[in-house]
C-alpha cells in the first residue's frame, strides 16, 4: 500500500476583483488588458521584480511534481495543432515536471529541456488529473491555470488547497476566478502580506 501524501493545489495570481487576466487576450498580449503591456508582467511583478521578498511562495509554486493546465494557458493555437507551438516559456519551461495540457486535439508528448514534458490530454479534466496524480507519486499536483480551468476543477471539487496571490489593481473584465463555481466553504490556512501582493492560502472544505 502506498498512500498518496501529495495534495492537489492551485496557485493563481489574481487582481483584487478576481481576474487572472484581462479581456482581449491574443498571442501578442496573452494576458490581454492586464493593466500593463499584456504580458502579465504587471500581475506577476511580485514573482519577477520582488522575487527575494516572495521566495517562499515562489519555491512552493515550483514544488509540484506534476501540473495540469488549460489549452489557453499553454498557447494561442486553437483547433488542430497545425503549427509549431511548445508553450510561452521557451526551450526550458519553469515546470521541470510533466505538464498535462487539456485539449480536444490529440498530439504526441513534447519533451523540453530541464525535465518538463508536455502531455496532451483529450479525455477531460478528471483524466488529466489522474494522469498527473500518477506522475506526481507522493508529490503535489498543481492546477496551473488559467482561471477557466481552475473553475472547472473547483466546481468538480478536485482542488484541495487554493493559493491566491492578490495584486492591488482591478481589471473589471476577463477570465474570473470562481465564475460559475457553486458556493464553496473554505478554511484559511495562511495569509501573508508582501509589498505589492497578499498571499492567501485556503483549504477547500467543500
Binding site for a copy of itself (CB under 8 A): 16-18, 33, 35, 164, 166, 168-172, 177-178, 180-188, 190-193, 195-198, 200, 202
Q: Min. distance of Cβ 171 from a copy of itself in angstroms?
A: 6
Q: Are strands 141-145 and 8-15 parallel, antiparallel or unpaired?
A: parallel
Q: Min. distance of Cβ 75 from a copy of itself in angstroms?
A: 26
Contact 50, 196 (CB under 8 A): yes
Looking at the Cβ atoms of 30 and 32, the one nearer to a copy of itself is 32
**Number of residues written out for the chain:** 206
Looking at the Cβ atoms of 77 and 158, the one nearer to a copy of itself is 158
Looking at the Cβ atoms of 10 and 132, the one nearer to a copy of itself is 10
Compute the distance between CA of residue 34 and CA of residue 49 in angstroms, rounded to an integer. 17
Contact 153, 11 (CB under 8 A): no
Q: Min. distance of Cβ 127 from a copy of itself in angstroms?
A: 26
Looking at the Cβ atoms of 137 and 180, the one nearer to a copy of itself is 180
Q: Min. distance of Cβ 139 from a copy of itself in angstroms?
A: 26
Q: Are strands 98-102 and 110-111 parallel, antiparallel or unpaired?
A: unpaired
| CA-atom Rg of the chain in angstroms | 16
Find the helix or strand (DSSP H, E) in which 126 lies: helix 124-136
Compute the distance between CA of residue 105 and CA of residue 85 in angstroms, rounded to an integer. 13
CB atoms within 10 A of CB 129: 21
Q: Min. distance of Cβ 17 from a copy of itself in angstroms?
A: 4
Looking at the Cβ atoms of 12 and 125, the one nearer to a copy of itself is 12
Amino acid at each position: 500500500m502506498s498512500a498518496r501524501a501529495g495534495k492537489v493545489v492551485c496557485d493563481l495570481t489574481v487582481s483584487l476583483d478576481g481576474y487572472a487576466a484581462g479581456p482581449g487576450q491574443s498571442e501578442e498580449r496573452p494576458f490581454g488588458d492586464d493593466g500593463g503591456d499584456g504580458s502579465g508582467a504587471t500581475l506577476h511583478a511580485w514573482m519577477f521584480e520582488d522575487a527575494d521578498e516572495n521566495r517562499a511562495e515562489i519555491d512552493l509554486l515550483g514544488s509540484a511534481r506534476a501540473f495540469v493546465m488549460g489549452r489557453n494557458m499553454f498557447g494561442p493555437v486553437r483547433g488542430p495543432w497545425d503549427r509549431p507551438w511548445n508553450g510561452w516559456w521557451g526551450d526550458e519551461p519553469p515546470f521541470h515536471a510533466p505538464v498535462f495540457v487539456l485539449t480536444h486535439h490529440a498530439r504526441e508528448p513534447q519533451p523540453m529541456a530541464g525535465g518538463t514534458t508536455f502531455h496532451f490530454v483529450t479525455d477531460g479534466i478528471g483524466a488529466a488529473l489522474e494522469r498527473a496524480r500518477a506522475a506526481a507519486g507522493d508529490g503535489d499536483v498543481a492546477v496551473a491555470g488559467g482561471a477557466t480551468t481552475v473553475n472547472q476543477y473547483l466546481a468538480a471539487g478536485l482542488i484541495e488547497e487554493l493559493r491566491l496571490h492578490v495584486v492591488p489593481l482591478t481589471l473589471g473584465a476577463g477570465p474570473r476566478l470562481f465564475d460559475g463555481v457553486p458556493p464553496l466553504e473554505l478554511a484559511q490556512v495562511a495569509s501573508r502580506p508582501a509589498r505589492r501582493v497578499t498571499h492567501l492560502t485556503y483549504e477547500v472544505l467543500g
